[in-house]
Chain A
């Protein structure tokens, strides 16, 4: 009997063990059985697109892209002293440190997206997909990687250049590359994308195409001050069927998502499926009742009061500029910061403040019809045709072709209800184009990068600091050390964790 039992043990333990012990997840799939079919690669690509939302739509984007600049500021809320809030303030005041999670958010989310793209780009060449399918997927993935590294290199300088998926600890550590190496990689990716992608078809669906890739490449060349190459790409873009919408304000209307003016935008959709945006709510004042603005019973008790246009910004719009009313809204009311009692929703056109009332300026571009709090339908523009025109005007002017430049510049001005400009002095025209970019692309997270690109950041922002300190003198929250901008602050710090974990070199000044 003993022997029988022992034999029985042995049989049972060996025969069923492998089946018994092999348990794979049932409610999700694993990397082992993914990246096989075309459907898989399409799904992976969708996943990569989805990672653009955190990379471009998170608070770090408007904190670093707009609040850092002279376009917007914030409503200083003494009661909000949590780390997240203080970090945003510090980014605005040029007091930010490497420990900032706000800055880390931009860095990390871009790399999460790059990681997804890298997997696609590595696995697709050896896959069994048809050539057209490969091209379609490879082209878009390359575009996305170029876009993400362009974001990183402008904010952080020469970052670690991961161009293949990380499989384990051994290949996870890369030193920082030089800025030039990163740009070379970006240009390589975008050239591949241009080769693989086809021209836009209208109506667009939100995916990257040849136009998106060329626009991005042109922006890269513009940043590198390679004006002839930028001009060549932009000229291509102007011939692809894009055009300006008739009215500036209709750009942000929901029926014009992915319109003829859109070159590339991050997609959102309101509703129950987790696809919504909520930009508006960060920009509205903190208030237990914002229904006067949203047109339905709603409160904004968390996360509001950020990215507020300055009065100086409001005044930057020329008299009669139709973009002002489309871009900025004003609410008046009472109550302390943190809990505004909103009484009136006003237009900034010919605005004079009502005595005794608190005035709050907010970004109105993201105010569109919706019915649930923190659940809006707005896309986020990355590139639109007006930027292509303004970029073309700039590259032409920089090459001394002022007259030709005016053709493109004035398209944008006229649409905004302004008189065409006739200035052909290169230096003066440069100023006009820069100002035009500021108001045309206001609150689309372009301003800080434009200031850095054009070398104006230090001058403009130190001036802006003086302006703000005077303007808010009575409320005394801006420390003396704020807005002391030096060239070190043109780049953001590499997040402290990456310095410690990855032994990366920090940018100077942090």
Chain B
């Protein structure tokens, strides 16, 4: 494969993930598929942050797991730095872990309660044989803890002795221990208090600056995503419905779902709030088993036209380059 002058660190091409659903009493038959991720394509350039937003059931978390190889896609290809990593072998998988890491959502569940902080942060180092001896090991861990703003003297304590924000820092220390190039941040601040969220967001931004990291930032909080991302992709029921850079998405959203989503987020400023025009989306997110025909959003869409019932719209460029939307009536 020729090495095109490609600045993309990650490329996702037509990736789908289907979970088969079986039913029946004696003879298990396949009832259908849950199309958690349905033909999704996007790319992330080196050093940038792509925000991935959507509500429950949209598939963003599944997408994150597919990229990290924690799950295998049903169809499609994933390329990392030009190499196909869709179905890696054991060795390749291991090597990939050094380049792609993850920060989990749950600061209370993602740390092993029976391991000390040192053991948690150091486990990747041991697995990948990144340290020569004990003193180097200890030094590296102390250093990592300092980088994320924790006191190295606390390295021998257990996770339950720390607050939520501190635990998230431990998780971040673990994620950067292998000096990865790419980190999937799966809702890293959703479970934290508001005043702590800002601390962690700042930390993530600083780390990106210092280490040249590329982020996939998965979240449902639009204000946070807007703050940290360069480009944003909006997902709905397994599809990407809009991709644009930060300013464009918020100032000129094309897809009705994006507009509804933005409208639904309250802004902490009554004077602005009262003047805002509301774009209301009614109804609920339908189940993933039997999504609507045609455009999956059409039953809830205030701008639906007849073709929306029949044909699923393609992701097309909207005038402005690098602003894409999947809508017949954008």
Instruction: Judge: A and B partners, yes or no.
Output: no
